[in-house]
Chains A and B, each alone.
Chain A
Amino acid sequence: MSKSGRTVVWIAAAVLIGASGPLLPEFYVTLLNYIGLYALVALGLVVLTGVSGITSFGQAAFVGIGAYTTTVVTVTFGLSPWLGLVAGLVVSFVVALVLGAITLRLSGHYLPLGTICWSVSLYYVFGNMAELGGQLGVNGIPPITILGWPLDTGRSMYYLIWLCTLGAMLLTDNVLRSRVGRAMRALKYNGEMAESFGVNGSRMKLLVFVYAAVLAALSGWLYAHLLRFVNPAPFGINMSIEYLFMAVVGGAGYVWGAVLGSAVITILKELLQDILPSILGRNGNFEIIAFGALIILLLQANRDKGFGLLFELFDRKETGSAGANRLPKPMRVKPADPLLAARTVTRTFGGLVAVNKVTFDVRPASIVAVIGPNGAGKSTLFSLLTRLLDLNGGEVHFGGHRIDRLAPHELVRRGISRSYQHVRLVPDRTVLENVMLGGYCRTSRGPFAAAIGLGFEQELQLQGEAEAQLKRLGLLAHKDELAGNLSLGQQRLVEIARALASAPSLLLLDEPAAGLRHHEKEELARLLGELRSEGMTILLVEHDMRFVMTLADNIVVLNFGKMLAEGVPREVRANPVVLEAYLGKSVR
């Protein structure tokens, strides 16, 4: 959908909500109020689960924090509900920050388990603290007042609830369409890859977790002042599960999925509660059984994409051209000589020495190839240079600075970028979006600027940059296709375009010619030569000997983790030790 198309949809939604307010019967106002409140929470989960691939079974507890905080502020201390809102947001922010900081460093499944446990804990705190009314709850919460006008009916709250929900959706949608959204999706697809293009994974996850918690707390604040009463029941684990189901049903990563999901689940629940007992002729919580079974079927049918495919139909887009917009060239220090220096780099796995005291230099504006039989340690060496693995010994210097202690996401900002042996593109995003991720490190537009639409010029510059790189690799015509739909050879080239979009001074290519056809290889060799003449330095791993021998200025030969030889192609080709490693010992 085009940008103007999106604007029309948002305005139409706002007008529809505003105009329907006075017309709807009371029952529908109540129903829509709940859908709006739930959608707010589900929206947080859409970002958390659908986009970023982490999940929480504790969102209801954050709703509870928002609701109970404003209850204490307004009932116990008799202060304004607006202070209650601020306090609720602050408390949920702090709690989420602490929990997220300790949980998100662990691998993926600890967060959902942790959130289940601590939300059960919080539920019992709500239910057992006499100050919070225990299981009976607290009555007499005052209504929210705006300019002295109390919002004391469901109908008046209807406007505020949907203002909050639509507003949050719009802001979130803006963020998801920015570089931050691309970074989140890359993180879900492959954390290592996202890090290597400058995404600080743990910080990004923390941001998303805190954001989802704050949205839930906002929903809790609205809920408390809508019902004017709180008790612990709606903040238990079952409600958390329902929120997650809403996000799953709504689909993978679309803000409208939050509304769709909460509407489907809320209405379905109403219907099932009415219909099932009358069909089956007895009472019981049949809706829970039907619900669970439906969710399982949905997951079996298409994993966590839910009805997100519906939105994809509307989201097929043709982006315009960004024209001559470009990102400014990064300011980097003058390249040192050697640009990259590996000094006795060593890595062991248990007893196996995968890379053994490897020492070599890469001079600026040259192409160096690392070759060796399978299992020689080439890929491990690459992982060591790009900080995906820790060194057991030795040092790596880049541009005169030691880099073997840096975090992976810091390397790309210094000018090191890479492609992967096994293609790591986000398959369900467009080629253009994938390449734009490469320029992530050269841009700075944060989530807040993106949310309110500031700094859009930079987005355009980034798009222009990505288009220029795609053009260079002859893939501009494919920019709006999904990356996963391209042929393997084309995907490799997209990876190179993505790496180039980060404007590296050192480009690391892991088997770039594998899967390319003959003329594509020649084309690639021509491009790499061209990059070299522009001053770029390239280090590559490659099996195609003709490709390597004609292109490389210098060759490093590895075998069983050890350096066998180093030199210009002619020397290496004549080196008896190298011949023996490749062809076996002479029988003579």
Chain B
Amino acid sequence: MNSEIALILTQDGLVNGAIYALLALALILVFTVTRVIFVPQGEFVTYGALTFAALRQGYVPSVVLLLIIVGLLAAALEVRTAFQGPSFRKRILPAILYAGYPLLLAFLLYYVTGAPKGAAMQVIATLAIVAPLGPILWRIVFQPMASAPVLVLLIAAVALHLVLTGVGLLAFGPEGARTQPLFDAGFSLGVISISAQSIATIGASLVLIAVLFWAFNFTLRGKALRATAVNSVGARLVGVRPEMAATICFSLAGLVGAISGILISAITTIYYDTGLLIALKGFIGAIIGALVSYPLGAVGALMVGLIESFSSFWASAFKEALLFGLIVPILLWLSIARPMTDERE
């Protein structure tokens, strides 16, 4: 290997790593606030990528139907609680939102605008379709068992991952998709060429991370989320509704997943079942951050990206084996650095 190849590999690694870092942040966010280890995060990436690819080819993917179905389910659940509980009007509003938004969006996409033209509109449409799946799926899958142990929530998350993979095959078909880079330009820096797309990817990750950081530290909602993460009972006592906190988290997770999908679709071919592997790479980053530390998680994810790109050069057949085998020394290190402190969840 010469320095030229090393630089190219580093660039690849950083670009992938930036996406994994985004996912790691979303995973840590969702876990700390809701205790859900959100395995289906990867499906948001594939849904984002494949929806975007479909829109670029000029048609509206049938995943919109999924959004309508789960939206109606969530609305039905809200209506049920509305009839049981005292605050009918408070409950009926979310029901209208859960059912109305997907229908309105579908109406717009199918009958008014058609598949949007222009990259910017396509990005917005992708986010509008995919991101709301986050809070809606939380409402129908996790909220009914929000107090269950972490392990039960994890099993449910894995079951949801299976459902979404199956639906992904139905909605997008078995063919993979790869999109043209949004930014075609590129420039040379010495011996290597740097594409504008990779700059944009890293830039978008940095901006998102910065925005999240700002929101968490300097806004009331962000502080409420952090309070829930530290002590959910205490947060509830001072008026933070856990449903609100969870809805925000899953919305962010959906948004981050969809954005990652749009970014990654220009780098690599995405299939309906690629999600798990991508999410797991984010997980390795998150685990390096011990599922609680954002900066460590982001650094870990960057490391994953670099190791991935270098190991694909040295031993491409064993790339994934090496990468996921990496978890063993990481866990060893964690078990020495952080001996059993918290037995109960």
- Measured in the bound complex, the distance between the Cα atoms of B145 and A128 in whole Å is 41
**Would you call B324 and A292 a contact (CB within 8 A)?**
no
- Given A191, A284, A289, A291, which contacts B343 in the complex, CB threshold below 8 Å? A191
B189 at the interface (CB under 8 A from A): no
Chain B residues positioned under 8 Å from A116 (CB to CB): 280, 283
Asked whether B280 lies within 8 Å of A120 as measured between CB atoms, the reply is: yes
Given the interface pairs A99-B328, A118-B325, A120-B280, the reply to whether A109 lies near B155 with Cβ below 8 Å is no
Among A120, A192, A292: residue with most chain B CB under 10 A: A292
Could you tell me if A121 and B323 are in contact, using CB atoms closer than 8 angstroms?
yes
**How long is the Cα–Cα vector from A108 to B150 in the complex, in angstroms?**
8
Query: Which of the segments B103-111, B160-168, B196-204, B222-230 contacts the partner chain?
Result: B160-168
- Is the pair A109, B291 in contact by a Cβ cutoff of 8 Å? yes
User: B277 to chain A: which residues have CB within 8 Å?
Assistant: 120
- CB of A299 within 8 A of CB of B162, answer no
Instruction: Check if A285 is an interface residue, CB within 8 A of chain B.
Output: yes
Q: Which of B145, B324, B338 contacts A117 (CB 8 A)?
A: B324
Interface locus among A49-57, A308-316, A536-544: A49-57
Does B345 contact A108, Cβ atoms closer than 8 Å?
Answer: yes
* Contact of B160 with A296 in the complex, beta carbons under 8 Å: yes
Q: Which residues of A (77-119) have their CB < 8 Å from a CB of B?
A: 99, 102-103, 105-110, 112-114, 116-118
Q: Is B194 an interface residue (CB 8 A)?
A: no
- In the complex, B278 has a CB within 8 A of chain A: no
Give Cα A124–Cα B319 distance, bound, in whole angstroms: 9
By a CB distance below 8 angstroms, the chain A residues around B341 are 107
Contact A296 B320 (CB under 8 A): no
Q: Are B152 and A303 in contact (CB under 8 A)?
A: yes
**A124–B324 CA distance with the chains assembled, in angstroms:** 9
Q: Are B328 and A109 in contact (CB under 8 A)?
A: no
Closest to B140 in A: A296
> Cβ of A295 < 8 Å from any Cβ of B?
yes
Is A105 a contact partner of B339 (Cβ separation < 8 A)?
Answer: yes
Q: Beyond A114-B327, A121-B323, A128-B321, is A55–B151 a contact (Cβ under 8 Å)?
A: yes
Bin chain B's interface residue count.
35 or more
Check B338–A106 contact: CB distance below 8 A: yes
Q: Does B37 sit within 8 A of A, measured CB to CB?
A: yes
Known: A117-B283, A191-B344, A299-B148. Is A106-B169 also a contact (CB below 8 A)? no
Which residues from chain A contact B320 at a C-beta distance below 8 Å? 120-121, 124
Known: A107-B341, A125-B321. A296 touches B151 (CB 8 A): no
Min CB distance, B156 to chain A, in Å?
5
A102 to B332, Cβ gap below 8 A? Answer: yes
Q: Is A268 an interface residue (CB 8 A)?
A: no
In the complex, chain A residues whose CB is within 8 Å of the CB of B206: none
What's the minimum C-beta distance from B82 to chain A, rounded to whole angstroms? 19
Note all chain B residues with C-beta closer than 8 A to A122. 321
When the two chains form their complex, are residues A103 and B151 in contact, meaning their CB atoms are under 8 A apart? no
Query: In the complex, what residues of A have CB within 8 A of residue B317's CB?
Result: 128
Alpha-carbon distance A105/B331, docked complex (angstroms): 10
- The answer to whether the Cβ of A293 comes within 8 Å of any Cβ in the partner chain is yes
Cβ–Cβ < 8 Å partners of A125 in chain B? 318, 321
Interface residue B212 (Cβ < 8 Å from any Cβ of A) = no
User: Complex: how many Å from CA A190 to CA B152?
Assistant: 16
Chain A residue contacts of B331, Cβ below 8 A: 102-103, 106, 110, 114
Contact string, A273-312, partner B, CB cutoff 8 A, digits 1/0?
A: 0000000000011111101110110011001100000000
Assembled-state Cα–Cα distance A192/B343 (Å): 8
- Please classify the interface of chain A as helix (H, G, I), strand (E, B), loop, or mixed, using the class held by over half of its residues: helix
Bitwise, B262-289 to A at CB < 8 A (1) or not (0) is 0000000000000011001001100100
Give the number of residues in A that approach B within 8 Å (Cβ atoms).
52
Asked if A241 and B340 sit within 8 Å, CB to CB, the answer is no
Q: Which residues of chain B are near A114, meaning CB under 8 Å?
A: 287, 327-328, 331
Which residues on the A side are within 8 Å of B170 (C-beta)? Answer: 284, 289
B152 touches A291 (CB 8 A): no
Cβ of B125 under 8 Å from chain A: no
Minimal Cβ-Cβ distance residue in A for B144: A300
| B154 is an interface residue with CB less than 8 A from chain A | yes
How long is the Cα–Cα vector from A112 to B155 in the complex, in angstroms?
10
Residue on B nearest A191 in the bound complex, by CB: B343
Q: Are A117 and B284 in contact (CB under 8 A)?
A: yes
Does A248 lie at the interface of the complex (its beta carbon under 8 Å from any beta carbon of B)?
yes
Q: Is B248 an interface residue (CB 8 A)?
A: no
Tell whether B342 is near chain A: CB-to-CB under 8 Å.
yes
Q: Is A202 an interface residue (CB 8 A)?
A: yes
- Determine if A244 is an interface residue (Cβ-Cβ < 8 Å): yes
Do A107 and B343 have beta carbons less than 8 Å apart? yes
Contacts of B335 in A (CB 8 A): 102-103, 105-106
Q: Which of A109, A237, A248, A288 contacts B276 (CB 8 A)?
A: A237
**Chain B, residue nearest A241 (CB):** B158
What are the residues of chain A within 8 A of B327 when measuring CB–CB?
A: 113-114, 117-118, 121
B304-323 residues at the A interface, CB under 8 angstroms? 317-323
How far does the alpha carbon of A118 sit from the alpha carbon of B159 in the complex, in Å? 20
Q: Is the CB of B287 within 8 A of A113?
A: yes
Contact flags A152-192 to B (C-beta < 8 A → 1, else 0):
00000000000000000000000000000000000000111
A-chain residues with CB within 8 Å of residue B276 when the two chains form the complex: 237
Say whether B165 contacts A288, CB under 8 Å. yes
B321 near A121: Cβ-Cβ < 8 Å: yes
Q: Which of A103, A192, A285 contacts B166 (CB under 8 A)?
A: A285
Q: Is B334 an interface residue (CB 8 A)?
A: yes
Please determine whether B328 and A118 come into contact, CB atoms closer than 8 angstroms: yes
Contact partners of B155 in chain A: CB under 8 A: 55, 244-245, 248, 295, 299, 304
Contact with A along B24-64 (1 / 0, CB 8 A): 00000000000001000000000000000000000000000
The docked-state distance in angstroms from the alpha carbon of A118 to that of B341 is 24
Q: B79 on the interface (CB 8 Å rule)?
A: no
Interface 1/0s, chain B 68-95, versus A by CB < 8 A? 0000000000000000000000000000
Q: Please state if A299 and B323 are interface contacts (CB–CB under 8 Å).
A: no
- Is the Cβ of A286 less than 8 Å from the Cβ of B166? yes
Query: What 6 pairs across the A-B complex have the smallest Cβ distances?
Result: A121-B324, A292-B163, A292-B162, A289-B166, A288-B166, A117-B327
Q: A296-B156, A304-B155 are in contact. List 17 more A-B contacts (CB 8 A).
A: A99-B328, A102-B328, A106-B340, A107-B340, A107-B345, A110-B287, A117-B327, A121-B321, A125-B318, A125-B321, A190-B344, A286-B166, A289-B170, A292-B159, A295-B156, A299-B148, A304-B152
Sample of 24 A–B contacts (CB below 8 Å): A107-B343, A108-B151, A109-B37, A110-B287, A113-B283, A121-B321, A124-B318, A124-B321, A190-B344, A191-B344, A201-B343, A202-B340, A284-B166, A285-B165, A285-B166, A285-B169, A289-B166, A292-B159, A295-B156, A296-B156, A296-B159, A296-B160, A299-B152, A303-B152
B residues apposed to A, CB below 8 Å: 37, 141, 144-145, 148-152, 154-156, 158-163, 165-167, 169-170, 276-277, 280, 283-284, 287, 291, 317-325, 327-328, 331-332, 334-335, 338-345
